[in-house]
Structure 1
Amino acid sequence: MTKAIKKNHIKYYQGNAPIILSAPHGGEEEPKEIKTRTKGVFDKDDYTYELTELIIKEFHKQTQLTPYAVIADISRVKVDINRAKEEAYEDEKASIPYNQFHDFIKISKKEIENKFSKGLYIDIHGQSHPKGYLEFGYLLDNSIIKQHDGSLKEKSNIENSSISALSKFTKECFIDQLRGPHSMGSLMCNEGYDSVPSVKLPYASDDNYFEGAYNTISHGSLNGGNISGIQIEFPYKDVRDTNENRENCAKAFVESLLTFTKIHLDLDLKK
């Protein structure tokens, strides 16, 4: 498996598969030379760092390939890497790890487009909503994914999503990509992890749903390119709370991801 390098409080795996993982909110390092933020969200996404590392290992176990991965070691109290610059930090010194994180993703995207012409970017987060579902975000809020299929598959929704590029590589329709039988949500439901959106849970009944934020906007296919993006919010209980649960979730996630990639990107990455 490819070894990680670390630069400016950011860990980077230079992969050899058309998958990019990122984890912006699981770090704990608080460099003294960078002033602590005074406004915004400061919560750490507990164990998303560890879960991402397990996904990388499980991906290699199942494929003998390493995904590209960008993981923040720096704490969110210093910089929120999933925000635009004007919201992300208050100390200009924090721009160094911030830019490093996003530059590693840009480098990864360029290499993937050169080698594979297409790929998938996944931004990993944690949430504590009462229902405890996995939430797959495609930049379409809950009021939009509540729509019936006919309205949901309108051109404007496809173009405003972070997975618009998938239509170039698959015969499957947008509904299947988003919440159909071969969506990431439905594939994870099949593994025992209730997820939104999916066939089982097409939208969040309590309106608690994260549709994606800055990283997914910036690095998915909303603004062009062949790399589609998905933000994933993992609940804490039974998913992130113990090492055993993280290992089980990583295994299920990689199996679902490989099925999704085969169907929607026409790439069979299984060894």
Structure 2
Amino acid sequence: MVNVEIERVCFSYPGADILHDVTFCIGPGEMTGLIGPNGSGKSTLIKCIDTILKPKGSILLNGKDVLKMDQVDLAKNIGLVPQHGTSAMDSTVFETVLMGRRPHSAWRIRDEDIDKVADTLDRLNIGDLAMRDFASLSGGQKQMVLLARAICQEPQVLLLDEPTSALDIRHQLEVLDIVNNLVKERHMSAIIALHDLNLGARYTDSMVILRNGKIFSAGKPDDLYTPDMIEEVYGVKAVVLTVLGKPHVVPVSPVKIETFIPALMETGFKEIPA
């Protein structure tokens, strides 16, 4: 069963082609990571799936064209956590998260909606922020609140554009644990753009690697993460190790790579053959 089918998606801004024939699919209960250098098209692709941008090609959710959905149906089916939260939102944290319930209850606030907001804030450990003004929050706190709003939408597809970029390491792990658990519990599909290759390897079921707006490769991180891929996509020499059963990328200065590998081997890490 496929939740999301992305078929030959292309997008251009005036004078700049950004995405070229991007094709992949995601099943229910799966997290797919988007990785690639700056400017490779990760954020643009997420905006196309959410129809903020209008691409060529087709994006199907359970066989329905998302580009033809009205805004209410779209909000019921797709939840977006943007890369940067607006600081101009004039509402409390509770009110901001409650906006995620509008596709289900319009302007009539029900007890059920209040309970879902409270439960979601507690699940993300930000219940103490409920009465704070959203605009007064730090960047990391805003990211948590926008994630809570998207979760409250109860979408079939969750789109996350670098959701951990403003978070410290503890909160990065907490957020990705929560998202991963929700995806499995609710049989959702999630697409998450990440710069951190090691977080991607740890939390995603599959990976799409973008370079210059095209899919360079796609599959499981265990199969994709090699020194050759890192060098070709990012222009950086690296060692790929196995840490806790997952591939772990260690960028290395080209001058020192020959002496660095034996030192790593002495620590007990196992290098994945290229």
TM class by shorter chain equals 0.3 to 0.5
Bigger Rg over Cα: 2
Normalising by structure 2, report the TM-score: 0.33
